[in-house]
Structures are given as structure tokens and as C-alpha cells.
Amino acid sequence: MAFILGIDPGLCHTGWALLPLKDTPQKAAWGCIATNAQQPLEKRLVSLFHQLQKIFEEKTPHLVAIEKTLVGRGKPDSLALASARSMSLLLTGLFNLPLFEYAPTHIKKIMTGNGHATKQQVVFMVQQALNTEKKLNSHEADAVAVALTQLYTNQNF
């Protein structure tokens, strides 16, 4: 069975979700990788890389969908986010997987019909799509939303 790996990149929290390409989203798996904010950036990136690598190895995705990074907040925040995002991009390249990137507004529009939806609205729609009452944190829900965006917009991959 082929799977999409959806990633919501972040230095503090990186959400991930695995959805089957040709089956119901209810068979999804998801989680959140956290790094230790007390550690220096390079240690946090190594930790993130190894945890993501384990997901790539164990879950064997067939393609990766990732949320695009919006630059505009403080420069240190943007650089840290870009560094964390690069771990996902690097692993996608190392595993020779197709990569699809989606802007946050596009993901929100696909999931809710509104490109400026709130986090709570996205979480709600993700739980509806998964037909689950399990609580997802916003990072997990965003990762599922990225994977669902790939599933809904590129079904013939």
C-alpha cells in the first residue's frame, strides 16, 4: 500500500501524518516530534533529523507533502523554522521521494473552504475527515491537513 507523509515543520514541534493514497483517511497514523528548547540549535536539529529519519524508515512513505514556510516574522524565528524544515527536505531527498509543497492558505482553503480559517477550524475538519474523536494537537492536525490536501488535489499521482 502506498502512503503520503504529511509534514508540518517546526523547530519546537514538527507534526507528521501518514495517510494511504488509495484508501480511506481513517487508516491514518500521526504524531508530533518535540525538541528540547534548552538545547542549542544544532543539537535540536540532530534530534529532529533522527526522529524524522526513523519515521521515513519505519513508515516507508511513497511521497512527501509539506507545508511551505511563510517568512515574515522575526528573522531568528524564520531561520530556525527554515532550518527545521530543511531536515524534512533533506530526508525526502535522501529517500528519493517525490515532494509536494503547499502554502498554509491553500491547505486551509482545501480543508475548510476558507484560506484564512483558524487553527480550531482546521483541527475540527481534520477530525471530521478522519472520523475520529481522538484529540489531535494543532501540529498533528496541520500535518494531516497537508497530507489530505495532497490526497484531495492530486489523487492521480
pLDDT at residue 157 in the model: 53
pLDDT confidence tier of residue 145, bands split at 50, 70 and 90: very high
Give the catalytic positions in this structure.
Answer: 8, 67, 139
Bridge partner residues of 7 (DSSP)? 16, 66
pLDDT at residue 15 in the model: 98
Question: DSSP letter at 71?
Answer: P
pLDDT digits (tens, 9 = 90+) for 55-98: 999 999 999 999 998 766 556 778 888 999 999 999 999 999 99
Q: Which of 34-48, 65-79, 111-125, 126-140 has the lowest mean pLDDT?
A: 65-79
The pairs formed by 110-114 with CB atoms below 8 angstroms and a separation of 24 or more are 110/145, 110/148, 110/149, 110/152, 110/153, 111/145, 111/148, 111/149
Task: Answer whether 0.85 is exceeded by the pTM.
Answer: yes
pLDDT confidence tier of residue 1, bands split at 50, 70 and 90: confident
